[in-house]
Amino acid sequence: MAQHRRPPSPALAGACLALALLGAGARAQEPATSPGDTNVFAGTLKKVHDAGSVTLGYREASFPFSYLVGQRPVGYSIDLCLHVVEEIRKELDDPAVNVAFVKVTPETRIPDLVSGKIDIECGSTTANKERETQVAFSPIMFVAGTKLMVKTSSSYRSYRDLSGKTVVVTAGTTNEKALRALNDKNKLGLNIVTAPDHEQSYAMAASGQADAFATDDALLYGLIARHKAEKDLMVVGGFLSYDPYGLMFRKDDPQMARAVGRTFASMAENRDLIEAYHRWFERRTPSGEEISLPMSAQLSEVFRTMGMDD
């Protein structure tokens, strides 16, 4: 079922472009290390070289960014991470580097990355200044925004209709922070409750334990499509926040930053970025769902600044 999103504000578009240019441009200017020279590897690349594997953090229920089909992590973010892995293999001159997967949640993803339990987080994580004090981000891969999911049989069409009602958010997300700020500013008296992951948040709203579920619009559309619940649930209201996504990796790691930057620049030039978007958002997904969410003008412009032809 086709869904329509209101275009993000010009200020957001400008911020997205600035971040994309900073991430892609600055990294592309620095020279790569010499493949096979183990003396120059540091940070994540040295860790991967020594272990012979790279560990990707995946989410169980961030469809279509990162989710499980059977026991296999798949999704838009997983595809992008696997392209980064290919760049790491080239850098290390080691095509035999293995890929391991570790499940993360919104609350564990940053600690697991910082501690070295995972090397790249492949999920639906908003890149913001607060998080950049702990981790680094790839160039922007998606632009989302907080919206509300409610039952179609309800009378709720905006956050203003939810005064005194129960709204669930997933713990450890930027959506929780945005909703609490909105509640305080407008004195709505919301009963804000949290669940550990998006699937459990969805279940609370679908079952009526919560009157609404607040998270990024693309995730809401994905959850509704995944559960084939278009008749029972819908996404309503304007954007409560805007959230540019990126892949997370450890900060202060210039070799890894260059590898990630080269990956995105190459994917933009080869149009692999737009193909990955089409695969997960505009066509039937490999697991059978169809979101039909056209690429926003803002994300298209971000990809263009990375080198994608019109």
- Domain ranges across the chain: 10-141+246-305, 144-243
Pick from 17-26, 45-54, 83-92, 193-202: least confident: 17-26
pTM, full prediction: 0.84
Bridge-based pairing state of the strands 233-245 and 142-151? antiparallel
Which has the higher per-residue pLDDT, 57 or 30?
57
What pLDDT is recorded for position 39?
A: 59
**What would the pLDDT profile of 177-236 be if each residue is shown by its tens digit?**
999 999 999 999 999 999 999 999 999 999 999 999 999 999 999 999 999 999 999 999
What pLDDT is recorded for position 104?
A: 97
Q: Is the pLDDT of residue 1 over 80?
A: no
- Given this chain, do its domains 10-141+246-305 and 144-243 carry the same CATH topology? yes
What's the Cα-to-Cα distance from 8 to each of 108, 144, 296, rounded to whole Å? 29, 9, 9
Pick the CATH number of 144-243 from 1.10.1040.50, 3.40.190.10, 3.40.30.10, 3.40.640.10: 3.40.190.10
- Which residue type sits at 36? G
A 10 A CB-CB count for 164 gives 9
Handedness of CA 253, 259, 261, 263 (dihedral sign): negative
**What would the pLDDT profile of 97-149 be if each residue is shown by its tens digit?**
999 999 999 999 999 999 999 999 999 999 999 999 999 999 999 999 999 99
What pLDDT is recorded for position 30?
A: 43
d(CA 273, CA 20): 14
Question: Which CATH number applies to 10-141+246-305?
Answer: 3.40.190.10
